[in-house]
Amino acid sequence: AQKVTQAQTEISVVEKEDVTLDCVYETRDTTYYLFWYKQPPSGELVFLIRRNSFDEQNEISGRYSWNFQKSTSSFNFTITASQVVDSAVYFCALREQAGTALIFGKGTTLSVSS
Amino acid sequence: KAGVTQTPRYLIKTRGQQVTLSCSPISGHRSVSWYQQTPGQGLQFLFEYFSETQRNKGNFPGRFSGRQFSNSRSEMNVSTLELGDSALYLCASSLGQATNVLTFGAGSRLTVL
C-alpha cells in the first residue's frame, strides 16, 4: 500500500536560516508521481513541484530545491535563506500511475521568525 | 484564468442535518476530486469524478456522496451530519491524468455543532 511519511511535525527557524523538510514514501508501483504543496493560513493548497519516478534529477527554483532519491524513497525539500513568508504547512504527496488519489503526508508546519 | 472556486467558504450546521458543497473547476478541467482535512486525520481523499462519472472513492461512509455535472462543476453532499464531520473540505481540479497537477480551491470549512 502507498504511504507518505513526514516525520517532522513542526520546525521553527529564524529568518535567513536554511531548512530541509523530509519526505519518505512507500509504493509498489514502478511509475508514480511525487508532489509538494504549501498551505498558508488561508487554507488553499498551493502546488510547488511535481517529480516523476523515472526522473531523479534534482531541481532548484529560486530559494527552493528538491532532492529526489529513489534508493531511499525520499523526496526532500530545502528552503534556502528562509523568509517569514515561507511560514506555512508543507505537504508531500504521492500518486501512483494507476490511481487518481493523492496520498498526503501529515504535513510539516514551518514557522519562520524575524 | 480563474482558479477553482468553492462555495460556501464557511458554514455551521447541527448534528443530523445535511450539507451540500459546491466546486467549480478550472475551465477545461474534467476531473474534480474532493478531500477532507482534519487536525487528527490530515488530508484524506473522498472521491474523484471525471466526465460525470465517479472514478475513484476513498474510505468514507455512504453518508458522503458527490456528483459532477456536464459542465464539470461538482457537488458533494454529507447527510446526517456528525460532530466528526467538522473539517475543511477541499476540492481540486485537473485534466484527469495521473501525471497532472491538482489545483486546489480555498476550501469550505464546515463546523458541526
pLDDT of B61 over the 80 cut: yes
A104: nearest CB among B43, B101, B107: B43
Tell me the pLDDT band of B50, cut-offs 50, 70 and 90. very high
User: Which of A100, A103, A109 is the best substitution to test chain B (most B C-beta atoms within 10 A)?
Assistant: A100
pLDDT of A98 over the 80 cut: no
Measured distance CA(B6)–CA(B50) in Å, rounded:
18
pLDDT of A40 over the 80 cut: yes
Name which of B44, B42, B51, B25 is nearest B103 in CA terms. Answer: B25
Average pLDDT over residues A3-32: 96
Percent of chain A with pLDDT over 70: 100
pLDDT, mean over chain B: 95
Higher per-residue pLDDT: A73 or B98: A73
Per mean pLDDT, which range of A13-17, A31-35, A58-62, B2-6 is the poorest? Answer: A58-62
pLDDT of A63 over the 90 cut: yes
Query: Which stretches of chain B sit within 8 Å of chain A by CB?
Result: 31, 33, 35, 42-45, 48, 50, 55-56, 58, 88, 90, 92, 96, 98-99, 101-107, 109
Per mean pLDDT, which range of A9-18, B12-21, B64-73, B98-107 is the poorest? Answer: B98-107
Measured distance CA(A36)–CA(B36) in Å, rounded:
18
pLDDT, mean over chain A: 93
Name which of B93, B59, B43, B40 is nearest A103 in CA terms. Answer: B43
